[in-house]
Amino acid sequence: MSIVAAITVAAGICLAQQTTAQAEGTFDESNITSTAATLIDGKTGSVIWSKSGDEKIYPASTTKVMTSLLLLEKKGDKLDEEVTVGSEVNFNSSNSLMGLQPNEKVTYRDLLYGMMMPSGNDAAAATAVALGGDIDSFIDMMNEKAKQLGMSNTHFSVPHGLYDGGNNYSTANDMAKVAYAAMQNETFRECVKSKEYTWKKTNMRGTDKVLHNTNKLIYTPETRQQDEVFRYQYATGIKTGMTEGDGGLNGCLIASASKDGQDLIAVIMGDKSTDSSGKNYGKAYRRWQEAVDLFEYGFSANSLDRAGAGNKGEQ
């Protein structure tokens, strides 16, 4: 079955508001305080659980999953081909950046990892220009791909996810569809599960640079040891995101995990939590635990199903 067909089938599956796992007390829906969340089966794309899954949200840097998917579709067999980036990589230094400079020569593989590891807005913009010729043309490509994937409540207006007044929007269910599609690609899976990536020296930089994954389920920086509590042994990816400003605090996370042959993808959108515990977890810190709660719920339900209990709460 094609990816598009699988996603179309998945969209028609009724959402499971409760499961045997919940009945056993392993999952408390009230713990999911973010605006919207969706959990899907990573092998079939079918929805397991959802909260406000079709509510309009701003996907922030999880937008880069679509940008990366298009890069892999267009250049998947030429990732080590070089491209020279231009002025599109000029961003305010407060942005999340890979560290590109105008006229720098990099590979498409560098751009892929630069988007998905440190969440480089410059890498996303460079990818857009390299593939589309200009940003606007690439955005057309993004929206055409979204249509093909059945993302009927989505409109992309930027390749990186920076807040643009609300024109770049989607839903948790729609972002689950593009995540599912991207995870069918082996190179994408290898990228998003990596803790770090060594970006080799270039014509503009004389030394190698190590890029680190912003996904706290996978990687804890040495300078942020308090975040070790968020590490999850079954995590396999995918992408973080956050916007602030006119849209308010909006923490986002698309995460994946695998256990005992089962793959899961969780989408968390609109985490507005701020840490008041004194542990310095920072802003939008609940999304990590919410993803783990969803994974544990999904894996527990799967275990009961294998034992013949069935999904008694499915409607």
Which residues are paired to 266 by β-bridges?
39, 255
Known catalytic residues? Answer: 61, 64, 119
Longest Cα–Cα distance of the chain, Å, equals 60
Could you give the 3-state DSSP secondary structure of residue 38?
A: strand
Residues sharing a CB contact under 8 Å with residue 156, sequence separation 6 or more, in sequence order: 63, 66, 139, 142, 143, 146, 168, 170
- Residue 182: which of 302, 306, 67, 40 has the closest Cα? 67
Query: How distant, in Å, are the alpha carbons of 99, 113, 121, 122, 214 from that of 93?
Result: 9, 19, 11, 11, 17
Which residues are paired to 279 by β-bridges?
none
Query: How distant, in Å, are the alpha carbons of 36, 38, 135, 175, 283 from that of 287?
Result: 11, 12, 30, 16, 10
* CA dihedral over 151, 73, 7, 230, signed as positive or negative: negative
Instruction: Please state, as a whole number, how many other Cβ atoms lie within 10 Å of the Cβ of residue 185.
Output: 16
Q: Given the DSSP bridges, would you call strands 82-84 and 105-107 parallel, antiparallel or unpaired?
A: antiparallel
What H or E segment, with its residue span, contains residue 277? none
Instruction: Please state, as a whole number, how many other Cβ atoms lie within 10 Å of the Cβ of residue 222.
Output: 6
Q: How far apart are CA 254 and CA 302, in angstroms?
A: 20
Q: How far apart are CA 93 and CA 225, in angstroms?
A: 25
Structural contact between residues 290 and 33, judged by C-beta atoms closer than 8 angstroms = yes
